[in-house]
Each structure stands twice: as structure tokens, then as C-alpha cells.
Structure 1
Amino acid sequence: MKQVKAGDVVKVHYTGKLVNGEQFDSSVGREPLEFTVGAGQMIKGFDAALPGMIIGDKKTINIAPEDAYGPRSEEAIIDFPKANVPADMKLEPGMPLTLSNQAGQPVPVVVVEVKDDVIVLDANHFLAGQELVFDIELVEIA
């Protein structure tokens, strides 16, 4: 049986959960996820779980924040000038927004607090600082 190694293109089904069991993503009921093992297309901990697996293998892995989306960063908490927001836009804590960075790429943020002259935004990835649990099933090695 062929085992997965770095550089292989694989297809997997997965379910991603927080340690409390709350599911945040799954390929079940959709096409399996295809990626190249070791090419940096996936979070480090997910990528590292595949080598040695054979088609049909299933495993559950726990991934520490540093091998997933990293720790939460206070530097990603931004004071955004309220003057830069349309006056008719109603902002509330917890509301998701998308800003553009200097390169024009979209940056998802969440409103933390609305003050008189600034809006406090959180640009951390929503899974930053979280330990993640993935159920993985290897479907194909291309």
C-alpha cells in the first residue's frame, strides 16, 4: 500500500472542531479537500498528520495554536478612525467587516467596541489562540 509522503497530492475528508466539540468546518457532504502535502497550503499541524497514512486511514488529531493559526495577537487589535466609516453605517460589537490592507487585499475584522472617535477592531483570525481537533480520512493519493 502506498503511504503519503511530502509532495504527494492528496484528497481528504475532514471535520474541524474546537476542543469543546463545536464544529467550525467540514468537507463531509462536499467534495474532499485536495492539496499538496508539505507545500504550505494547509496549517502546519494538519499537513504534518498526513505522511505515513494510506488510503482509507482515519485519524483524529489535536493541533496546538502555534501549529494552526497562531496565538492571538494584541497587535491585531486596531483603533480605526470613525471618520473613515460611512455615517449611516450602524456598527455593533461582534459585527464582521472586511477592510483592505495596503496591498488592496481583503482583511476580515470583527468590531470589538464603538467609541466616540474610533472603532476598535480585531484582525486576529477567528481561530487564533485555539487548540483545534480534526477528524481526517484519506480518500486518495494522486
Structure 2
Amino acid sequence: MIIGPNSVVTIHYSVQDKDNNTIDSTFDDEPVVAMLGSGYLIPGLDDALQGKQSGDTFSVTIEPQEGYGERYDELTQAVPKSMFEGMEIEVGMQFRATTDEGDQVVVIIGIEDEEVIVDANHPLSGITLNFDVEVIEVREATAAEVAHGHVHGEGGCGHDH
């Protein structure tokens, strides 16, 4: 079957940055199962899978605008250290913050005197990604999967809609 809209794909992938540092890989673990067009995969990978089929292997370079987006300086800010009172904080910790745009994950990128520098950009934003992909299986999404917008495992999706 040729991959198209609403195809459910099972893939292995490895992703590297421009310096060939491996960011993530599924080749030594379980493959990823996703429905194209559902937003589960980044747009560039979703697009690159279109027209492929089981057994295909390919490499694709995905620019930030088709990956995790550009970086925005305004999403980095200093907040008072007192907001973390009673907590042991360190660079790299992630927190869910409530903002005017809703809940957002922020990462501590610096601690200076009485301020904590947090970044709400996705950690992979602004990075060109190089994917090596192996298509393991392709099938048509069920009507329920299309209606719910995600892949169901054996026995359903495990939650109510």
C-alpha cells in the first residue's frame, strides 16, 4: 500500500542535527506507529512519508519551519527565583507553566542571582533535522481512528472520546 492521507505507518527512524549528533533513534527500540495528517509527526516527516511504502528506506533533511519551528527570543525570559521557593532547581529542568496562551512547557536554561531564565521554545526549535527512516508497515486508518484523529491499538484507544 502506498502511504497517503490517513495512512497508519509503522516506522523506525534516527534523527541527527547538522553536526551528525544523534538526537533520537527507534532502531534499537520499538518502532513508532502514527497516522499521517494527525499532527503526531512533524510536518516535514509527515510530508516525506507520502508516496512511500512498506520496505522503503530514505533520508530527508527537514528545516525548522517544517520541524519544531523557529526559535523566538521573546519565549525566553527571566522570572523571580522566588517562584521556585522550596524547590531544588537546576539548568535543564522542565516545568509546566500557565501562560496567557494556556499551559506551556518551559525549560530552565540559566540561574542568575535572584532570577531564573526559562525558555518556552521547543528544545528542537531552530534546528535542521536529518532523518533516516525505514517504513516497516502501512495500513489504512480505520473510520474510528480517522474520527478520533489518532491510531488505536488492539482493543481500541484506551480512553473515552
Counterpart residue identity of residue 129, structure 2 = L
CA distance in 1, matches of 2:61, 2:107: 26
Counterpart residue identity of residue 42, structure 2 = I
- 5+ residue gaps, structure 1, are none
The percentage of aligned residue pairs carrying the same residue is: 29
How far the C-alpha of 1:112 sits from its partner, in A, is 2.3
Structure 1 runs of 4+ aligned residues shifted over 6 Å read none
As a proportion of its length, which structure holds more helix?
A: 2
The aligned counterpart of 2:113 is 115
How far the C-alpha of 1:106 sits from its partner, in A, is 6.0
Pick one of 98, 101, 118 that aligns with 1:101: 98
The aligned counterpart of 1:59 is 58
How far the C-alpha of 1:52 sits from its partner, in A, is 0.8
Deviations 1:29-79 (A, max 9, x none): 211100011222111101001111011100000000000011111121022
The aligned counterpart of 1:71 is 70
CA distance in 1, matches of 2:63, 2:102: 31
CA distance in 1, matches of 2:104, 2:112: 21
Change (3 A) 1:57 1:42: same
- Is the CA contact (8 Å cut-off) linking 1:97 and 1:111 kept in structure 2? no
- Is the CA contact (8 Å cut-off) linking 2:104 and 2:120 kept in structure 1? no
The aligned counterpart of 2:125 is 128
CA distance in 2, matches of 1:121, 1:84: 12
The aligned counterpart of 1:83 is 82
How many corresponding residue pairs?
A: 138
- Is the CA contact (8 Å cut-off) linking 1:9 and 1:35 kept in structure 2? yes
Q: Report the secondary structure of 2:49's partner residue.
A: coil
TM-score by length of 2: 0.77
Change (3 A) 1:131 1:83: same
The aligned counterpart of 1:141 is 138
CA distance in 1, matches of 2:38, 2:96: 28
TM-score by length of 1: 0.87
Q: Report the secondary structure of 2:126's partner residue.
A: coil
* Coordinate RMSD, CA, aligned: 1.9
